[in-house]
Structures are given as structure tokens and as C-alpha cells.
């Protein structure tokens, strides 16, 4: 996952992180895929692990769902709440708390959708000795929360700066494990970042992806930075 201390980014730079992810998926590929593979009924309820600054939360709300979610980094959740309030979403459709996605349990059979976006991959590097048990606990809790017929969705990178799927080496075994052990089916989409200029892209992404990404952006004259994303559904 690189040399950047992501845990510190989430605590110290939530606004910069939010600006970066707001530039991703310029063409709206993710909401289009979710609507196709995990359509939500009227009055849907969704469980979200790892809310972050609310990128996926907003997609779920715009699709008509109410959202119950958790996020371990309180500064990230504060940004999410502020953005959601600014967009006019009422508290009666939201229940967002600070919490550890790997330790929580949820009531059974209430959610139409359970989603974890760009969350579990960190466990592979942060907890290399027991990531399967940690992620497995979270996936079990998500499945328990689902109604019969509900959908489980996991979203992860398949390569930043890549035009074809090329997941970070540290995530290959984990992503294969999602398919082999949990029976999830992978869908691949492009979720490119779009900036107004090459320098804006370098500045907007460098703090999170490091100096090597800054060099790649400049060398390739990217104001649109390619990104491949995997969406695992079961």
C-alpha cells in the first residue's frame, strides 16, 4: 500500500482526502454499476463499513437509501457529516458512528445492502498476521445484517495510474481470497480522477500516493489520472 502513513492522513488531512476522492470517478461508473448489480428497493436500508468522508454514503443516499455506518477516524466522519448536512440530508436517514469495522456486530436481517468501500485493504498491511480473521469478522457481520436477497459489496483499487487492472501486489492475495473463500464476483470499472490541470492532479494526489505518483502524473501529462476499481458482489 506504499510508504505513506494512511492512518495519519485520515486523522490529519481529512479535507484533502475528501477533495481527492471527490475528483475520482468523473464519469460516474460506480453508481451506474451499483444500480445494475445491487439495485435498491424503495425505502432501502444500507449498512456501510468505513464511511470515510462519505463518498459512498452520498451515492447511497442519492439512490434513496437510509444509511447506518461506522468510521474509525473521527476527523473523517466529521467531514462526512458536514458535507451531508450541506447537501441537505436529514438525520432521520443517517446513523453514522465512530467505530471499528473489524469489531462491530449488527442486528440480523435488516439491510438491503451492506458495503465496504476501500476499507479492508488496509487490514492487509496494518495487520499482516491476522487480516483474514479481522476481515472475515467484518464480512460475517455484514452478511448477518442482510435481509434474504440482500447484497454484499466490497470495493477496492485495482490500480491507480493504471488503464488495465493491476492491483497493488499486497492486495492480490486478499482480493483472490474474497472470491475463493467468500464467493464474491468481481466487476471491473474505470474510476478515473479528473483535475483541471496536470499540476492540480500532482498536488491533489501526491500527498496520498507519494512522490512517485507526482512524477508519473507529470511525466504522463495527466490531468485525468486513470484508475481501475474492483467491485466484489455476493
Decide if pLDDT at 1 tops 60. Answer: no
Distance in angstroms (rounded) separating the CA atoms of residues 38 and 113:
7
Q: How confident is the model at residue 24 (pLDDT cuts 50, 70, 90)?
A: very high
Question: Over the stretch 170-221, which tens digit does the pLDDT of each residue have?
Answer: 999 999 999 999 999 999 999 999 999 999 999 999 999 999 999 999 999 9
Which pLDDT score is estimated for 29? Answer: 98
Q: Which domains does the chain have, with CATH numbers?
A: 6-190+229-233 (3.40.50.150)
Question: Over the stretch 81-98, which tens digit does the pLDDT of each residue have?
Answer: 999 999 999 888 999 999
Distance in angstroms (rounded) separating the CA atoms of residues 192 and 190:
6
Mean pLDDT over residues 97-107, rounded?
93
Task: Establish how many alpha carbons lie within 13 A of residue 97's alpha carbon, considering only the half-sphere containing its beta carbon.
Answer: 8
Question: Over the stretch 130-141, which tens digit does the pLDDT of each residue have?
Answer: 999 999 999 999
Mean pLDDT over residues 92-109, rounded?
94
Q: Are strands 66-71 and 111-117 parallel, antiparallel or unpaired?
A: unpaired
* CB contact at 8 A, 153 and 182: no
- Percent of the chain having pLDDT more than 70? 99
| pTM of the predicted model as reported, rounded to 2 decimal places | 0.96
* CB contact at 8 A, 156 and 171: yes
Cell numbers linked to 7: 492512518
Which pLDDT score is estimated for 2? Answer: 46
Distance in angstroms (rounded) separating the CA atoms of residues 11 and 9:
5
CA dihedral 34→36→42→46, nearest 10 degrees, is: -30
* CB contact at 8 A, 43 and 18: no
Q: Which residue has the higher pLDDT, 3 or 117?
A: 117
Cell numbers linked to 29: 461508473
* CB contact at 8 A, 9 and 17: yes
Which pLDDT score is estimated for 91? Answer: 83
Amino acid at each position: 500500500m506504499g510508504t505513506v502513513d494512511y492512518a495519519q492522513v485520515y486523522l490529519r488531512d481529512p479535507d484533502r482526502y475528501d477533495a481527492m476522492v471527490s475528483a475520482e470517478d468523473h464519469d460516474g461508473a460506480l453508481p451506474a454499476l451499483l444500480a445494475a448489480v445491487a439495485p435498491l428497493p424503495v425505502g432501502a436500508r444500507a449498512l456501510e463499513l468505513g464511511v470515510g468522508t462519505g463518498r459512498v454514503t452520498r451515492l447511497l443516499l442519492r439512490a434513496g437509501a437510509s444509511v447506518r455506518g461506522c468510521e474509525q477516524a473521527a476527523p473523517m466522519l466529521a467531514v462526512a457529516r458536514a458535507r451531508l448536512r450541506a447537501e441537505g440530508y436529514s438525520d432521520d436517514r443517517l446513523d453514522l458512528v465512530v467505530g471499528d469495522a473489524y469489531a462491530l456486530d449488527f442486528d440480523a436481517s435488516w439491510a438491503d445492502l451492506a458495503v465496504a468501500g476501500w476499507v479492508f485493504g488496509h487490514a492487509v498491511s496494518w495487520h499482516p498476521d491476522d487480516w483474514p480473521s479481522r476481515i472475515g469478522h467484518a464480512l460475517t457481520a455484514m452478511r448477518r445484517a442482510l435481509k434474504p436477497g440482500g447484497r454484499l459489496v466490497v470495493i477496492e483499487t485495482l490500480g491507480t495510474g493504471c488503464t488495465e487492472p493491476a492491483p497493488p501486489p499486497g492486495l492480490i492475495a486478499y482480493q483472490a481470497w474474497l472470491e475463493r473463500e467468500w464467493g464474491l464476483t468481481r466487476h471491473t470499472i474505470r474510476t478515473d480522477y479528473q483535475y483541471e490541470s496536470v499540476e492540480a492532479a500532482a498536488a491533489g494526489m501526491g500527498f496520498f500516493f507519494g512522490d512517485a505518483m507526482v512524477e508519473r502524473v507529470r511525466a504522463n501529462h495527466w490531468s485525468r489520472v486513470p484508475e481501475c476499481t474492483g467491485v466484489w458482489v455476493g
